[in-house]
């Protein structure tokens, strides 16, 4: 085994209690934070399809070639929804939300639904009513603005969030937070121990002497702690102390 690696492993084993203490403190903090400090969140979502239709013989029919293109453009639509071109208009048209453009962007997520043309817009907030109102507002503004931005003339909203039917609240993931706390605390504590050992230039073993100076060790003087020294000193003093014998002479007198 490499001497340096063995040196660091020995240091970690010697101070393993520091790692255990750091992990316990971090996990306890994550537990109480997840249970009491973080409020429950509600999620509301809408679904829509964005297509481009073509005019054939005075009627509308679906352009099959455009379906594949639309699926490839899902990422583009998601970025458009989260851009100021949409968010600023939502904030302007729906002042009752009481949100800024950045605040609204932080609430909204956009993702495609599998390998389909369906796009899901979701909002997450501590109030379900505000989440539902916000996601519906974003959907309406996107439906109105996307034909001007991308020349798309067929945006179909499949469903909107129902403001009077709240979903179940979701809080912070206790297991996830505690796992993150464990990994961070373990990594930091181990890193600090290794760093301190790296900065320590003292010689601690015969192997280090051989590696540094190329000479063998003939004798080793063990470290003596103060309490061990006092204990041995007391034993030595007790052994050297002379033993005094005393005799008591009892005399009886006659009256």
DSSP letter string, the chain: --HHHHHHHHHHHHTHHHHHHHHHHHHHHHHHIIIIISPPBEEEEEEEEEE-EEEETTEEEE-HHHHHHHHHTHHHHHHHHTSHHHHHHHHHH-GGG---HHHHHHHEEEEE-SSSSEEEEEEEES-HHHHHHHHHHHHHHHHHHHHHHH---EEEEEE---TTSPPPPB---HHHHHHHHHHHHHHHHHHHHHHHHHH-----SHHHHHHHH------------HHHHHHHHHHHHHHHSPPPP----------
Spatial separation of the C-alpha atoms in residues 139 and 161, rounded to whole Å: 10
Spatial separation of the C-alpha atoms in residues 183 and 109, rounded to whole Å: 28
Per-residue pLDDT of the chain (255 residues; tens, 9 = 90+): 466 777 778 888 888 899 999 999 999 988 887 776 656 778 888 988 876 654 443 445 555 555 566 666 777 888 888 888 889 999 999 888 888 888 888 889 888 887 777 889 898 888 888 888 999 999 999 888 888 877 666 677 777 777 666 665 565 567 888 899 999 999 999 999 888 888 877 666 666 666 666 667 666 666 667 777 677 777 766 665 555 544 444 544 444
3-class DSSP string for 147-190: HHHHCCCEEEEEECCCCCCCCCCECCCHHHHHHHHHHHHHHHHH
Spatial separation of the C-alpha atoms in residues 154 and 64, rounded to whole Å: 14
CA distances 62 to 84, 95, 143, Å, are 31, 37, 18
Residue 52: partners with Cβ closer than 8 Å, 6 or more residues away: 63, 66, 69, 70, 151, 152, 153, 154
Cβ(172)–Cβ(38) below 8 Å: yes
Cβ(31)–Cβ(185) below 8 Å: no
- Start-to-end CA distance of the chain, whole Å, equals 94
The pTM of this model reads 0.50
Q: How many CB atoms lie within 10 A of CB 139?
A: 24
For the chain, which domains are there? 3-37+174-199 (no CATH), 42-159 (3.30.70.1130), 206-240 (no CATH)
């Amino acid at each position: 085994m490499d001497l340096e690696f063995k040196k660091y492993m020995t240091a970690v084993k010697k101070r393993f209690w520091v790692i255990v203490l750091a992990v316990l403190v971090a996990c306890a903090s994550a537990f109480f934070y997840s249970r009491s400090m973080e409020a429950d969140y509600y999620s509301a979502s809408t679904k829509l399809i964005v297509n481009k239709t073509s005019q054939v013989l005075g009627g509308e029919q679906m352009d099959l070639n455009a379906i594949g293109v639309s699926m490839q453009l899902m990422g583009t639509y998601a970025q458009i929804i989260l851009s100021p071109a949409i968010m600023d208009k939502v904030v302007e048209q729906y002042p009752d939300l009481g949100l800024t453009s950045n605040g609204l962007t932080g609430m909204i997520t956009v993702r495609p639904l599998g390998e389909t043309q369906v796009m899901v817009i979701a909002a997450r907030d501590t109030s379900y009513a505000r989440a539902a109102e916000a996601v519906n507002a974003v959907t309406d503004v996107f439906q109105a603005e996307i034909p001007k931005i991308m020349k798309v003339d067929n945006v179909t909203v499949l469903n909107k969030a129902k403001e009077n039917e709240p979903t179940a609240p979701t809080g912070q993931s206790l297991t996830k937070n505690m796992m993150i706390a464990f990994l961070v605390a373990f990594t930091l504590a181990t890193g600090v121990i290794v760093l301190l050992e790296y900065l320590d230039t003292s010689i601690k073993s015969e192997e280090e002497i051989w590696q540094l100076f190329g000479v063998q060790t003939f004798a080793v003087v063990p470290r003596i702690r103060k309490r061990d020294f006092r204990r041995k000193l007391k034993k030595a003093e007790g052994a050297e102390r002379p033993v005094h014998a005393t005799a008591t002479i009892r005399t009886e007198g006659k009256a």
